């Protein structure tokens, strides 16, 4: 508990150091997106977000993740992930925003890399995101995880529904070593600059890996 409190105090200090912050949400593992699935929308140039997630339950017991992402150059989002895990050190994420159409409810397309420098968790992905009328968005894509002796391909996807400007409900699924996990969560926007989120990971208890929970705090601002 003391470690968790200290981590939140660090985030609080970062918040005051960076001044006013706008809203954005990375995934549990770093890139901007849903719960575990990145979306095709990247951060704008000189836009940054940072977040802290506490994870408990399942085989993970108790872990802390911190994330920092920044919109660099044109259409590029770069970020780092660290904390209690990964034990290999800090990982790097990158996302390149490819295109969107000009319709009222546009379709976005992006490609990216997650957990670069990991021995067996580095991934490359392609994701499409579609905005629908009524506060709903849908996301679908493909990814490949690189293991020392093989490549593990899988599909991923999810949805987010905004009940109002302060509350949204999410669900996504992703594959890992040929096993698919279903996740769900909620986001609560305290003010337009700060959001809280609660997620339940692996609802189906795939391969008896156990259900675990995450609680996160997110900030965003323009530099």
* pLDDT per position as a tens digit, 199-210: 999 887 766 778
CATH of residue 98's domain is 2.40.160.40
Residue 105, pLDDT score: 78
Minimum mean pLDDT range among 18-27, 88-97, 133-142, 153-162: 18-27
Is residue 179's pLDDT more than 50? Answer: yes
**How many domains are there within the chain?**
1
Q: Where do we find the tokens 């920044």? A: 70
Structural domain of 137: 2-222
Question: Could you tell me the pLDDT band of residue 173, with boundaries at 50, 70 and 90?
Answer: very high
Is the alpha carbon torsion for 222, 91, 117, 180 positive or negative? negative
Beta-carbon contacts of residue 95 (< 8 Å; ≥ 6 apart): 31, 32, 38, 42, 76, 77, 110, 111, 112, 113
Pick the more confident residue, 3 or 35: 35
Beta-carbon contacts of residue 108 (< 8 Å; ≥ 6 apart): 39, 40, 41, 97, 99, 100, 128, 129, 130
* pLDDT per position as a tens digit, 7-51: 433 343 333 333 332 245 889 888 899 999 999 988 888 888 899
Is the alpha carbon torsion for 206, 207, 208, 209 positive or negative? negative
Tokens describing residue 38:
């990145």
């Amino acid at each position: 508990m003391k470690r968790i409190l200290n981590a939140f105090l660090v985030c609080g200090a970062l918040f005051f150091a960076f001044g006013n912050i706008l809203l954005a949400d990375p995934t549990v593992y770093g890139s901007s997106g849903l719960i575990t699935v990145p979306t095709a929308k990247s951060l704008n140039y000189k836009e940054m977000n940072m977040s802290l997630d506490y994870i408990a339950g399942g085989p993970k017991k108790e872990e802390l993740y911190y994330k920092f992402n920044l919109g660099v150059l044109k259409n590029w989002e770069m970020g780092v992930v660290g904390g209690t895990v990964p034990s290999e050190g800090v990982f790097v994420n990158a996302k390149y925003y490819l295109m969107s159409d000009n319709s009222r409810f546009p379709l976005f397309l992006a490609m990216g890399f997650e957990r670069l420098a990991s021995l067996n968790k580095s991934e490359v992905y392609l994701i499409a995101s579609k905005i629908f009328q009524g506060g709903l968005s849908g996301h679908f894509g493909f990814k490949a995880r690189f293991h020392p002796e093989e490549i593990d391909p899988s599909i991923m996807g999810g949805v987010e529904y905004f009940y109002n400007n302060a509350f949204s409900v999410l669900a996504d699924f992703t594959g890992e070593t040929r096993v698919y996990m279903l996740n769900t969560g909620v986001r609560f926007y305290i003010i337009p600059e700060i959001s809280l989120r609660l997620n339940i990971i692996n609802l189906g208890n795939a391969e008896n890996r156990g259900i675990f929970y995450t609680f996160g705090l997110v900030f965003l601002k323009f530099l």
